[in-house]
Structure 1
Amino acid sequence: MANFTLSDEAGQDLKSIAHYTLDRFGYEQARKYRYELHETLMLLTKRPGIGAGCEQIRTQTRRFSHLSHIIYYRPLKQGILVLRILHHSQDPLGRL
């Protein structure tokens, strides 16, 4: 069964996103955004090729946009490794 694994950095990204969303938009929106992000990650585990390649940033890495964030990941045999989840305004070059 395909699944996703979070890098330490991606785990921190998720925590930061949750705290920011909770502070700015409240509990319900934070819960909804986390659920939608999880659904997107599950979609990527099933269809890892739908993300755009970004070899110029990091080899064997793909990216997929989810609302205000971009998920950077590496396809694996049984799912994906999530490298980072960055806001659209963040430059990935120094973060991947």
Structure 2
Amino acid sequence: MADFTLSDEAGQDLKSIAQYTLDRFGYEQARKYRYELYETLMLLAKRPGIGAACEQIRTQTRRFSHLSHMIYYRPLPQGILVLRILHHSQDPLRHL
């Protein structure tokens, strides 16, 4: 079964996204956005090739846009390793 693993940085990204969304938009929106991110990560784990290759940023890395964020990940035999989940305004060269 395909699954995803979060790097320490991606785990922190998720916490920051959840807190920002909670503070700015409230509990329901934070819950909804977190669920949608989870569903997107599960989709990527099952079909890692749907993300765009971004070798110029980091080798063996792909990216996939989810609303306000870009998910950077590395395909693995049984799923994906999520490297970072960055807001579109963040520079991936600086954060990866």
TM-score (normalised: structure 1)? 0.99
CA RMSD of aligned residues (A): 0.3
Cα distance in structure 2, aligned partners of 1:45 and 1:7: 14
1:43-82 correspondence to structure 2 within 5 Å:
43-82=43-82
Identity within the alignment, %: 91
Matched residue pairs, number?
96
Q: What's the secondary structure of 1:56's corresponding residue?
A: coil
1:19-59 C-alpha deviation (Å, 9 max, x unpaired): 00000000000000000000000000010000000000000
Cα distance in structure 2, aligned partners of 1:94 and 1:25: 28
1:67-94 C-alpha deviation (Å, 9 max, x unpaired): 0000000000000000000000000001
Partner of 1:36: 36
User: Per residue, is there more helix in 1 or in 2?
Assistant: 2
Instruction: Give every structure 1 segment of 4 or more consecutive aligned residues whose post-TM-superposition deviation is greater than 6 Å.
Output: none
TM-score (normalised: structure 2)? 0.99
Q: CA deviation at 1:2?
A: 0.6
Q: CA deviation at 1:6?
A: 0.1
Cα distance in structure 1, aligned partners of 2:5 and 2:46: 13
Q: CA deviation at 1:3?
A: 0.3
